Chains A and B, each alone.
Chain A
């Protein structure tokens, strides 16, 4: 390589190295490779030399051109990278700043429990039945074998509304969700499997009683359902609901006007710690029994052909037990602190395949 070419390379490389930004870099590029650039001019001069000389000179110039082009592009890449780094450095932020606040909504524990009940009983073939909160005294009492003189009908237990309904019956705030049993048996032919979650009302207000609370009622009518199925259904439910596969469940003989035989159901717990399962103590949790032949007859079902069972439990009560909630009253107070503490994520619905 001739001296002038070696010098051009050296000069160009020095100029590139000295270029601190894209503008200076471009000036170097134009000065060498531009229309009147030093390399361009040397290429133009190639035509003036002899053919032999042209061949060697041409080859040398091509090498120089490649070398300079590479150097220019390399410098460009280095400048781009430096510029990007500088921009990124300028864009640095304090990542310890708090994120934009989100207000998360919540599902109330009562709704959550109802959803869980729907999921578990649904898997056992139960549908959900509903009915009005204001009932007549026949559906709430009479049809369920609670006669007119029964003490449950007294003012001290039951809320009444003025003016009888169109049928001339007294209007009451339903004291249990059992009137929906009656509605279901009248409106649909057996076999029947329904649960009835809903609001219920009793004239009672203290630390452990609320004038409004929630119950879930269950009703199953079929051919051949026995007290054994009642036990199985409830044991299956309770063990899944509380998530304790060996939860002790005890059945005691009892009395309700609308079932016969009737049973109280207890679950095992530890009275001192409140822990469910072991502990050797028993906690009454729900009432149940085989549907009374009179109730079936009042609703038009022939007890010789159809039989089944019913049960009822307090939704707040099982919710308190499941989640260790000590007091009943805050369920209805809408204290945002309580709701935030006990509420559930609305996007985590109760589904058996995700776990209840």
Chain B
């Protein structure tokens, strides 16, 4: 909200400086957005009399002037064509900064003549583009007066942000009251003239929507002469960016800002049927004062006459019944509307008016009679006329509330021990009045304009809550909320910087681990993957539906109703989807070789889980001692293995099957399970059609690990280490098997051949080629035998080897390679 310093001073008796005022506004919660002080840059420029202007002896285009700025007479050389003897202009002496040129003036000599200053053009003052000549002021402009003072530009405009709870501060008077309460002056009394109305109003009210409009006053002023407002009123409005319309309308806009009390004026002669009714809209259209047409809904409260809708209540008035220069009988509307109803109507029709912003925050419900009289008086002062009696409908609602503050709560809740007298005094300066006080507490009456204090709004408790608990909690709220309101009022007026900071109380000397076991496992996964050479990404949770569908289901239930862009509408099934797009973007920038990973949400129709996903695109770096290589599916599997092992997954219990989701290459991908059902991870080469669809430049491999599927490792103590006293014996076996045999089957068979003796089986060679018959392959394993009681004899080793061959042959149909 904007207002000028001088406007503020009409309500606030203060000697405080502008800076003191603006600093205080910010600290008490009326945050300063900006100060526009156009006069400040011009303060050194005075109105001056050009005593004489004569031709420069050495230059055709220059004049020598003698200039009097009220302090002394200067010699000035001037090039302006309009410089002439006797004129009034604006003078800048040496030392002044010229905003339009960015130069600080110096005493100089121009072609042999001394020049001690400058007569200014509008452009040089930074006030426009006019540079055709120097400023030519009227004859009566007072010599010696600073130009901005004479031009009415010495009045700084203050702009503040008003929070949604402070409807009362959307008025100059409300701001003045807060400043006075904070000790920056005294609030001037609001003088309300007595209006003696004569005769009934030409227009009367009817309320058919009392839940939207509870009370309305109105008055006809007959015989007015409308026209432009006086200069002071026009200046007030233009200073804050409002356009003066005519006196009657300007009066309503003035009180909207001055008292936060929106008013409306109807041309009484244009109102059909002499009655204005608050009623639901019925789908009728009307033209509003902003020259746009609106169609009123059943849920909108409109003001209608016999001809139809004339106004959207509390939001905007209508053109048909508006006041213009020809208006002679005016009807003033001063109403009280339901804030929520006004907000909903304004929002639906997308009308942001000064009236709406005040009504939707809630206006002072007790101010209606005074506001009606103040508006009447100003209209009579500006336009003449005779007032009628007040026409009313509805009644003043019961707004009266009390709130109690226990002084100890300032310390025990607010953290600052404010003396009781000071606390009470702050409340009183805000307009709270004393209802009762004892040594420990004070009960105050809440002023009518503070609908945010001790408000009674409905709770929205957890429906699943135990009823006894809910009742107790609701009682706690009732007891504590009004007091919290008062604590806030007392504290903010003194500035919250006054509250001493206290470090958090220490409950235990050394805190327990901050992360849960799952959280620290996820943190470890992040470090493991990054240590494997992946750069961590953070990509959006939403993505284009088409691309999302490449990586899994993209159900309607996970598509935003109101996406910000068409390509950010679908919640992703896996972070791999957005990572693959990121790899593609990098490739498009000439960086095709990237390893990216992300730990983030993967969305399902039935909930979300956390995936660690990674993609290796492009090649490894090319070097003199290491050729560039394209990662293969086994690299992705190694990444999965590194993470799962680090997270304590029992690796020997995992199975890998070639049934990964469809975004993987069907022959080069796998699914990793723990037990028959639990899928921990998938990995593999990306499907060529996915690569093509995403414009990835080459093959890429990827993995996805469902971190929520990983079970907490059993926290049992580690068993003692197995440290046999005897040397292990290693033997190599090369088996020829059918090409379709899974290596894992062979390894498991070998491992199981002699459980206690065999401590390890490592597959070290796979051969499929011309020395092998078609459809067969050779798998070579190294088997480690670990004796525990005594060194193995040759015969024992022979026997064990035979068992390995037998077990593998049985499981896979293998034969030993000759």
Contact in complex: A236, B542 (CB < 8 Å): no
Query: In residues 610-633 of chain B, which contact A (Cβ within 8 Å)?
Result: 620-621, 623-626
A134 to B558, CA, bound (A): 9
A261 to B413, CA, bound (A): 10
> Is B477 in the interface zone, CB < 8 Å from A?
yes
Contact in complex: A290, B413 (CB < 8 Å): yes
- Fill in one digit per residue for A109-143: 1 if any B CB lies within 8 Å of its CB, else 0: 01100010011011111111010111000100011
Contact in complex: A334, B579 (CB < 8 Å): yes
A204 to B563, CA, bound (A): 10
> Is B561 in the interface zone, CB < 8 Å from A?
yes
> Is A42 in the interface zone, CB < 8 Å from B?
no
Contact in complex: B459, A294 (CB < 8 Å): yes
A122 to B412, CA, bound (A): 25
> Is A98 in the interface zone, CB < 8 Å from B?
yes
> Is B539 in the interface zone, CB < 8 Å from A?
yes
Contact in complex: B589, A232 (CB < 8 Å): no
> Is B714 in the interface zone, CB < 8 Å from A?
no
Query: In residues 589-641 of chain B, which contact A (Cβ within 8 Å)?
Result: 589, 591, 594-597, 599-601, 603, 607-608, 620-621, 623-626
Across-interface contacts of B416 in A (CB, < 8 A): 227-228
Chain-B contact segment, one of A2-10, A12-20, A299-307: A299-307
Contact in complex: A253, B532 (CB < 8 Å): no
Q: A317 to chain B: closest CB distance in Å?
A: 15
Across-interface contacts of B594 in A (CB, < 8 A): 336
Contact in complex: B459, A220 (CB < 8 Å): no
Across-interface contacts of A100 in B (CB, < 8 A): 623, 625-626
Contact in complex: B465, A300 (CB < 8 Å): yes
> Is B128 in the interface zone, CB < 8 Å from A?
no
Contact in complex: A134, B476 (CB < 8 Å): no
B459: contacting residue among A101, A297, A331, CB under 8 A:
A297
A339: contacting residue among B28, B29, B537, CB under 8 A:
B537
> Is A203 in the interface zone, CB < 8 Å from B?
yes
> Is A242 in the interface zone, CB < 8 Å from B?
no
Q: B356 to chain A: closest CB distance in Å?
A: 11
Contact in complex: A301, B527 (CB < 8 Å): no
> Is B66 in the interface zone, CB < 8 Å from A?
no
Chain-B contact segment, one of A24-32, A67-75, A160-168: A160-168
What count of chain B residues pass the 8 Å CB interface test?
116
> Is A274 in the interface zone, CB < 8 Å from B?
no
In the complex with contacts A227-B491, A229-B502, A119-B459 CB distance below 8 A = no
Would you call the interface of chain A mostly helix, strand, loop, or mixed? mixed
Q: Residue on A with the closest CB to B599? A: A111
Contact in complex: A106, B535 (CB < 8 Å): yes
A298: contacting residue among B459, B536, B623, CB under 8 A:
B459
In the complex with contacts A104-B533, A205-B564, A254-B31, A133-B601 CB distance below 8 A = yes
Across-interface contacts of A296 in B (CB, < 8 A): 473, 476-477
In the complex with contacts A100-B625, A229-B502, A260-B476 CB distance below 8 A = no
Q: A265 to chain B: closest CB distance in Å?
A: 10
Contact in complex: A98, B623 (CB < 8 Å): yes
> Is A41 in the interface zone, CB < 8 Å from B?
no
Q: B247 to chain A: closest CB distance in Å?
A: 34
Contact in complex: B540, A332 (CB < 8 Å): yes
Query: In residues 504-561 of chain B, which contact A (Cβ within 8 Å)?
Result: 504-508, 511, 513-516, 519, 523, 526-527, 529-542, 556-561
B-side residues, CB < 8 A to A, are: 26-29, 31, 163-166, 340, 343-344, 347, 411-416, 457, 459-466, 469-470, 472-477, 479-481, 484-485, 487-488, 491-492, 495-497, 499-508, 511, 513-516, 519, 523, 526-527, 529-542, 556-565, 568, 571, 579, 582-583, 585-586, 589, 591, 594-597, 599-601, 603, 607-608, 620-621, 623-626
Those 9 A-B pairs whose CB atoms lie nearest each other, nearest first: A228-B415, A122-B514, A253-B29, A346-B530, A255-B163, A334-B582, A105-B530, A261-B488, A226-B415
Q: Jot down 23 A-B pairs with beta carbons below 8 A, ordered by A.
A: A103-B533, A105-B534, A106-B535, A125-B506, A132-B601, A133-B608, A134-B603, A143-B460, A154-B347, A167-B463, A203-B564, A211-B564, A252-B26, A261-B487, A292-B481, A294-B457, A299-B461, A301-B473, A301-B476, A304-B475, A304-B476, A337-B591, A339-B535
